[in-house]
Homo-oligomer: A and B are copies of this chain.
Amino acid sequence: MSTLQSLSEEQLSARLGVLEAAYEDYKSRGLKLDMSRGKPGPEQLELSMKLLDTVDSQTGAKTLKGEETRNYGMLDGIPEMKDMFADVLGVESANVIVGGNSSLNLMFDYISQAYSHGVCGHPAWCREEKVKFLCPAPGYDRHFAVTEYFGIELIAVDMTENGPDMDQVERLAADPQVKGIWCVPMYSNPDGITYSDETVRRLCGMKTGAPDFRIMWDNAYGLHHLTDTPDQLLNVYETAKACGNEDRVMLFASTSKISFPGAGVAAMAGSPANIADVKNRLSFETIGYDKLNMLRHARYFGNADGLREHYKQHAAVIRPKFKAVLESLEMHLGGKGIARWKTPNGGYFVSVFLLDGCAKETVRLLKEAGVVMTGAGATYPYGKDPRDSNIRIAPTYPSLDEVRTAIDMFCVCAELACVRKLLAGR
């Protein structure tokens, strides 16, 4: 396969005709497909149904240690779930707060706390002249949106195969107005990249201008392996502690993509000072999160190994969908010099980089033909991909057949957009 760039104008025009015909054909089918969000599919939702049977009128609602879960109280969660998340996040149970059904909510609330009150005795961010946050991009749009909501300036940092470009991060973090960085350290959204040990060490050890710099460590896909040879991630809390920077890192995780997206259990962890800080706020904020749902999870999964084992069932369901996406990309776009992507070992996405200036047009073409993708640019701060190149593919929600159709259409639309771009440049 020769690259499209090496084709003559005549050859390109011929190819354009083929692609346009294929596109019109797809369009005429009146399809309605959605590969926009990282949502588990219906088949995955069935995998945890027995979890709902673990707490009912017959079982009662006491923890293993005999504690009542139905009433008010236990601000930081039931012991079983603290233990489970301690294992998941690589911290001690005492440094875990088990929350409600949304880790995004815990992150939002932490940024909200920093904004209105400050963290660990530092000044409230709303009293600072300007606050900035580092956003490795492409990244998770909802992360960027949280900081944008609080008027924080978003600074894009390039992603590399090893995580955020640490030279950039170290340079930018020297600015005292830069208060933190968003990280999805394992199977990153959307690239599927796992931070290298060196990246973790540099993040934990670097000098920061702000004494209250925070690494928002959203380990959303920490157990979400697709292969039997999963990536490995260094223990960030231990690393930060060894550097004397244990207050720098706030960790988050949830079972949303292991039990139920709408009714999972989320948790956060951090240093004793950070956890005391958050608990103080929590004591004003609620009388306690839903402990009955924690109990369901504790009884069903038992411990973190139970979560890991259970996720293998999810992997079995979604692996063929990832395979279909990757095979189609290779088959239709491989070697053409217009697209690159990475085969992720886990997580929820395949991230495709097209010729500069072709992402928006590809998404537009797909939408017109009935396939909804994550908006081009959504993976960058302020929704603006400076190269208009990246598209996030979320293959989990549609059925395997739908994925196959949608990704074939994606390839046609992507190549169509790129051919037109190349022809326009001749």
Check B290 against A101 for contact (C-beta < 8 Å): yes
User: Which residues of chain B are within 8 angstroms of A145 by Cβ–Cβ distance?
Assistant: 284
> Does A6 belong to the interface (CB within 8 Å)?
no
> Does A12 belong to the interface (CB within 8 Å)?
no
A263, B69: Cα distance in complex, Å: 9
A410, B115: Cα distance in complex, Å: 45
> Given A39-B72, A112-B116, are A55 and B52 neighbors across the interface (CB < 8 Å)?
yes
Check B116 against A261 for contact (C-beta < 8 Å): no
User: Which residues of chain B are within 8 angstroms of A42 by Cβ–Cβ distance?
Assistant: 68
> Does A163 belong to the interface (CB within 8 Å)?
no
Check B291 against A104 for contact (C-beta < 8 Å): no
Within 8 A of B (CB), among A243-270: 256, 260-263
> Does A105 belong to the interface (CB within 8 Å)?
yes
> Does A292 belong to the interface (CB within 8 Å)?
yes
User: Which residues of chain B are within 8 angstroms of A126 by Cβ–Cβ distance?
Assistant: 116, 124, 126
> Given A263-B293, A290-B262, are A284 and B149 neighbors across the interface (CB < 8 Å)?
yes
A68, B260: Cα distance in complex, Å: 11
Check A105 against B45 for contact (C-beta < 8 Å): no
User: Which residues of chain B are within 8 angstroms of A102 by Cβ–Cβ distance?
Assistant: 286-289
> Does A146 belong to the interface (CB within 8 Å)?
yes
> Does A90 belong to the interface (CB within 8 Å)?
no
> Does A129 belong to the interface (CB within 8 Å)?
no
Check B50 against A57 for contact (C-beta < 8 Å): yes
- CB-nearest residue of chain B to A38: B72
How many chain A residues have a CB neighbour from B under 8 Å? 54
- CB-nearest residue of chain B to A74: B262
User: Which residues of chain B are within 8 angstroms of A142 by Cβ–Cβ distance?
Assistant: 284, 287
A45-63 near B? 1/0 per residue, CB < 8 Å: 1000110110111000100
- CB-nearest residue of chain B to A397: B71
Contact of A56 among B56, B69, B112 (CB under 8 A): B56
User: Which residues of chain B are within 8 angstroms of A382 by Cβ–Cβ distance?
Assistant: none
Q: Which residues of A contact B (CB under 8 A)?
A: 37, 39-40, 42, 45, 49-50, 52-53, 55-57, 61, 68-74, 100-102, 104-105, 108-109, 112, 115-117, 124, 126, 142, 145-146, 149-150, 256, 260-263, 281, 284-293
Known: A45-B68, A50-B57, A52-B55. 13 other contacts (CB 8 A): A45-B61, A52-B56, A56-B56, A69-B262, A71-B262, A100-B289, A102-B289, A105-B286, A142-B287, A261-B287, A262-B291, A262-B292, A263-B290
User: Which residues of chain B are within 8 angstroms of A109 by Cβ–Cβ distance?
Assistant: 285
- CB-nearest residue of chain B to A126: B126
Check B45 against A70 for contact (C-beta < 8 Å): yes
User: Which residues of chain B are within 8 angstroms of A112 by Cβ–Cβ distance?
Assistant: 112, 116
A294, B158: Cα distance in complex, Å: 42
User: Which residues of chain B are within 8 angstroms of A50 by Cβ–Cβ distance?
Assistant: 57
Q: Can you show 24 pairs from A to B with CB atoms below 8 A apart? A: A37-B72, A52-B61, A52-B292, A69-B262, A69-B263, A70-B263, A71-B260, A71-B261, A71-B262, A72-B256, A72-B261, A102-B289, A105-B286, A112-B112, A115-B116, A126-B126, A146-B284, A149-B284, A260-B292, A261-B287, A262-B290, A262-B291, A263-B290, A293-B293
